[in-house]
Amino acid sequence: MAHELSSQLSKFDPLPRIILYDNFDNGLEGWTGLIGNYEDTLDSVLPGYRDLRPPMLSNATMWDTGSAGALDGVYSMKLATRPEDGGMGVGIKRVTWRHAGPIQFEAYVTFKPEASELRLSELDVRAFGVLFDLQNEKERVMPHLRYLNALEGEPVGRWQYKKDRVSLETIGGTGKTQSHFHLSSDGWLDLPAEPQALCYNEISTKQNWHYIRIGFDLASMTYTSFQCNDREYDVSNISPMVMPAMANLWCMLNVAFWIETDLDKRAFLFVDSVTLSGDWIGQ
């Protein structure tokens, strides 16, 4: 078992402490849907959160090629949107941190539109992204990165980040719950780099896996690294969203993926495996 795990982890470059490793062959392993905050009534959920589709398991069955499985194993985590322009699917894993130091998140992912047409359809997916949701004793910090694949049918191919947020709204009357739709289309800024073309293979049922690595320092609450495939980006001058610390969220270390469609057609994000690692001394 140890040899098998070592072999699976060899495709990553983790920091010394493995916080989590999920490959989805044993289920969703704690990944779940993102739902809006509420108190007393579900009518208090903000509109943007009311129809986010949750994750599922997939063996990547396609109508023409059969079941492709995952990059490594049988199953991947699949996010699927509704067939509505701007529809999203979101998967989140909720954990906490034990040491305010360097962390690194790595994953292998691929994205596709629903293969409902006999054409490549490479511009039908608007974007996919990864985010952290973190909190220390002073502030809540939300690093967001997304790959804007296309917008209104035009190719973009740029990685973007978000540092400004919409205003917080109080939910209910206890003072314990607030909400804001941080995945909205507003406020995205381009990373200071040229566009990156990702592999998008010839017909809509083919898929190639992409490597993503995000480094972050929980002590300084700053980005330390970002890589997608062969491209490493300078993130020294980009900032995450920051807001005052909220009740009941101490040491929060959440991570999430999302996928968004650019037209009235479903878009899919497949996540083969993820690892979150850290660096600290002691037990």
* Number of DSSP helices (H) and strands (E) in the chain, helices first: 1, 21
Asked whether residue 272 carries a pLDDT value surpassing 70, the answer given is yes
Domain housing 155:
17-278
Q: What CATH number corresponds to the domain at position 84?
A: 2.60.120.260
Q: What is the mean pLDDT of the segment spanning 24-49?
A: 79
Q: What is the pLDDT confidence band of residue 107, given thresholds at 50, 70 and 90?
A: very high
Buried b / exposed e over 32-45, threshold 16 CB at 10 Å, is eebebbbeeeeebb
Which residue type, as a one-letter code, is found at position 95? V
Average pLDDT over residues 11-17: 96
Residue 123 maps to a domain: yes
- The answer to whether 145 and 215 have CB atoms below 8 angstroms apart is no
Instruction: Decide if pLDDT at 41 tops 70.
Output: no
Query: Total domain count for the chain?
Result: 1
User: Under the phi-then-psi rule, with left for phi > 0, alpha for psi from -120 to 50, and beta for the rest, what region is 16?
Assistant: alpha
**Per-residue b/e over 62-72, b at no fewer than 16 CB within 10 Å?**
eeeeeebbbbb
- Residues 138 and 135: their CA atoms lie apart, in Å, by 8
Nearest Cα residue to 226 out of 144, 134, 149: 144
Max avg pLDDT among 34-43, 168-177, 199-208, 263-272? 263-272
Structure tokens, 266: 């479903």
Is pTM beyond 0.75? Reply is yes
176 vs 271, residue with greater confidence: 271
Three state DSSP letters for 33-68: ECCCCCECEHHHCCHHHCCCECCEEECCEECCCEEC
pLDDT of residue 168: 72
- pLDDT above 90 covers a percentage of the chain that reads 75
| Residue 37, phi then psi, degrees to nearest 5 | -70, 150
